[in-house]
């Protein structure tokens, strides 16, 4: 445990948080700054940085309320050190002396003794600070709720408008929970019972999802790359909601299937798994680097009968001519605001905007329109987004209907989710389903 409470890990966390401030990206900085770090230390750094980002608004409020110091006036390293201390004190089991002393030592190494002394003096006021009591004193309801759960106020207002006041706080709580780890069984190489046996033989605690096929939950902390079967391609790390997009498509062997927005390959490889390489899959994405990830994932999982195309189908006339009215099924997992996956990517709380949502909606509509030229008569289109925004879900369904599509039922929808299928659309939520937030609709023309 000495390593896990050391100054060097906190110094890296402060660096990552300082980089995050500049571009609101987290994963890229985490990967770069922790490359080559001991896996357990890397997990600790990831936990405290992601947690700090997750509760950023609340931490800033608490530091300023407890200390009387304006964070904006502090230099980035001091500011993020104070945030890091507050997160450790409020949300982890790290002893207060370690949270403060080791972070202060990190500041001394990164800056100087004077700055470290300032952080030490200020942070002592955070020990024992009752943030819940202080938040209750905020008069405005929306500001109070958005501070307590640490979300942008405009997000909170929108979601209350969409889903109602009773759903709001459970939804925010669900988005703040750290997502569980699920493995999606790769049927090309193994079945669910066999994979569970392999994992349990190595003393890894797992359980099958109660009603979604092929999903296995891993309990406790594990290093993914060291899980038995990872290198062999027995599974893919995937949230049940993401897997459902491929599952609800109901792909069949012998079909020609288009996967749009395919990289890094979760749904492409799920389609291959469901058909045991029996379908021909054309996977398209606009991002060449992410397509390289898809290629690597496909190779690890033993996916065959796959064609990778870097393109935007809404602008590629040659692609549309080549495949005009050819596909039996199309999966559009559209680029979106990704507000449904905030529990996995807490930086998503701070890099969204109404403008981004409206831009994404235009892109999504273009993809739906292009799909009509690519889908066979009587073919099936599954449209999905990992978004909580109506513009990217229900409004796009309305657009598709105006374009001449018709809705279809989900023939294989688990009975536990049937009550959430309404007016041709299905929504899943973190607080209701313990999944990422997703919207799906199944269409034909």
Q: Which residues are annotated as a binding site?
A: 285, 312, 333
Nearest to 343 by CA among 221, 183, 177: 177
191 Cβ contact partners less than 8 Å away, ≥ 6 residues apart = 185
CB 282 within 8 A of CB 323: yes
- Integer Cα distance of 428 and 434 in angstroms: 9
- Integer Cα distance of 318 and 145 in angstroms: 50
Residue 445 among the catalytic residues: no
- Buried (b) or exposed (e) across 352-388, using 16+ Cβ within 10 A? beeeebeebbebbbebbebbbbbbbeebbbbbbbbbb
Quote the distance between the C-alpha of residue 106 and its chain's center: 30
CB 87 within 8 A of CB 45: no
Q: What does DSSP say about strands 280-285 and 306-310: parallel, antiparallel, or unpaired?
A: parallel
- Integer Cα distance of 440 and 426 in angstroms: 5
- Integer Cα distance of 435 and 310 in angstroms: 30
Catalytic residue among 75, 336, 365, 386: 386
CB 227 within 8 A of CB 204: yes
CB 360 within 8 A of CB 392: yes
The residues with which 283 forms a beta bridge, in sequence order, are 259, 308
15 Cβ contact partners less than 8 Å away, ≥ 6 residues apart = 29, 33, 110
Known binding-site residues for S-adenosyl-L-methionine equal 285, 312, 333
Coil vs helix vs strand at 12: helix
173 Cβ contact partners less than 8 Å away, ≥ 6 residues apart = 149, 431
- Integer Cα distance of 49 and 88 in angstroms: 10
Which residues are annotated as catalytic? Answer: 386
């Amino acid at each position: 445990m000495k390593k896990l409470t050391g100054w060097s890990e906190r110094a890296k966390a402060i660096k990552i948080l300082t980089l995050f401030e500049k571009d609101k990206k987290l994963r890229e900085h985490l990967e770069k700054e922790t490359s080559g770090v001991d896996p357990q230390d890397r997990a600790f750094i990831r936990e405290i940085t992601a947690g700090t980002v997750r509760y950023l608004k609340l931490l800033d409020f608490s530091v300023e309320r407890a200390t009387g110091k304006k964070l904006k006036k502090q230099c980035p390293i001091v500011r993020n050190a104070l945030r890091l201390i507050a997160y450790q004190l409020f949300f982890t089991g790290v002893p207060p002396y370690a949270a403060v002393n080791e972070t202060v030592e990190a500041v001394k190494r990164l800056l100087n003794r004077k700055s470290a002394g300032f952080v030490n003096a200020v942070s002592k006021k955070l020990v024992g600070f009752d943030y819940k009591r202080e938040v209750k004193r905020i008069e405005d309801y929306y500001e109070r709720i958005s501070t307590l759960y640490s979300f942008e106020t405009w997000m909170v207002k929108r979601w209350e408008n969409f889903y109602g006041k009773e759903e709001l706080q459970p939804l925010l709580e669900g988005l703040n929970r750290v997502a569980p780890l699920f493995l999606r069984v790769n049927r090309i190489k193994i079945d669910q019972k066999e994979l569970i046996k392999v994992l349990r033989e190595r003393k890894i605690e797992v359980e099958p999802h109660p009603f979604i096929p092929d999903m296995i939950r891993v309990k406790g902390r594990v290093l993914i790359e060291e899980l038995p079967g990872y290198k062999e391609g027995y599974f893919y790390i995937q949230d049940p909601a993401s897997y459902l997009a491929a599952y609800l498509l109901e792909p069949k062997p012998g079909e020609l299937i288009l996967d749009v927005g395919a990289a890094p390959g979760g749904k492409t490889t799920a389609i291959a798994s469901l058909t045991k390489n029996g379908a021909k899959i054309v996977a398209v994405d606009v991002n060449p680097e992410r397509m390289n990830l898809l290629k690597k994932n496909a190779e690890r999982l033993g996916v065959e009968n796959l064609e990778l195309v870097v393109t935007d189908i809404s602008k590629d006339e040659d692609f549309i001519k080549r495949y005009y009215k050819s596909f039996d099924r199309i999966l559009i997992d559209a680029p979106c605001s990704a507000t449904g996956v905030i529990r996995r990517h807490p930086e998503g709380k701070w890099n969204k905007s109404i403008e981004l949502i409206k831009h994404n909606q235009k892109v999504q509509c273009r993809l739906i329109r292009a799909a009509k030229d690519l889908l066979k008569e009587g073919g099936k289109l599954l449209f999905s987004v990992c978004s909580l925004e109506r513009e990217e879900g229900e409004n796009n369904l309305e657009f598709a209907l105006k374009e001449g599509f018709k809705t279809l039922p989900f023939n294989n929808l688990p009975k536990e989710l049937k009550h959430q299928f309404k007016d041709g659309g299905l929504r899943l939520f973190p607080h209701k389903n313990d999944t990422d937030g997703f919207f799906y609709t199944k269409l034909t023309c």
